[in-house]
Structure 1
Amino acid sequence: MTPAPVQGALKRYRVMAFVTGSFLLLLTAVTLVKYIGEAAGWHADAFWAFATMVGITHGWIFMVYVLACADLWRRMKWHTGRLLTMVLGGVVPAMSFVMERRVSREIPASVDA
């Protein structure tokens, strides 16, 4: 059985991994549209403002994600490489979903062992 503090940290991490990964995919799509559109001669101030807001929002969400990663990492007493891999999940598109799944499967196995 997983201890309550670890369960809480895992739940926060899972939520933030999903939110961060979703916003990163949105940011990637918006950035592609922005620069492809710019190369094609399309420029809409409203879209550029939207793209900027998505980027800023992802930045703030990423900071909360890093805190959630650090909290879970500290409670599990993992090596530093694991923390870096988890944090990279918020930078590499779709990696947060992969890491969330891997961590969610590993924690019950390592705590119960």
Structure 2
Amino acid sequence: MTGTTDSTGPRTEPTPDPTAAAAVDPRVRRASGALARYRVMAYVTGTMLLVLCLEMVLKYGFHVNALDWVPRLHGFVYIVYLVTVFDLWSVMRWKLGRFVTMAAAGVVPVMSFVLERRVHADGQERLATLGRR
């Protein structure tokens, strides 16, 4: 840990070590990125699915078409979500059942939020085992 001094005194933040970043296994870096992308898309997809449910209630319950753009946007977001699910699933080398469950989470309201926590915990555990190799 190295620091620099300036006119206000010594800095306590460590300066990044460029050799430490190069020492990280490329598989761990790729899996970590896939896990982060999945996490973001799980929240975005879950939020869009809740907005889609609201749109359906407004449309069929109250005959209000104010959010008629939501189904198309959710469809696009779901496709991006499926790509991130496939990326994470293939990098982590999980079983097919996990892929199906993760894909279904994008169409069942609130399931993406619940499953994201479990997948993230399992992914962190897998990253720890990959990092030890």
Instruction: Tell me, yes or no, whether TM beats 0.5.
Output: yes
Moved over 2 A (4+): 110-113
Structure index of larger Rg: 2
One-letter amino acid of the counterpart of residue 124, structure 2: P
Q: In the TM superposition, what are the counterparts of 1:74-113 in structure 2 within 5 Å? A: 74-113=90-129
How far did 1:67 drift?
Answer: 0.2
Q: Which of 50-59 and 5-14 deviates more?
A: 50-59
One-letter amino acid of the counterpart of residue 66, structure 1: L
> Gaps (5+ residues) in structure 2?
1-23
TM-score normalised per structure 2:
0.73
> Gaps (5+ residues) in structure 1?
39-46
How far did 1:95 drift?
Answer: 0.5
Q: CA RMSD in A?
A: 1.6
Q: Which structure: greater helix fraction? A: 1
Question: What SS does structure 2 have at the residue aligned with 1:52?
Answer: coil
**In the comparison of the two structures, how many residue pairs are matched?**
104
Question: What SS does structure 2 have at the residue aligned with 1:3?
Answer: helix
* 2:89 aligned partner: 73
* 2:67 aligned partner: 51
Q: Which of 50-59 and 64-73 deviates more?
A: 50-59
Confirm or deny that 1:34 pairs with 2:59: yes
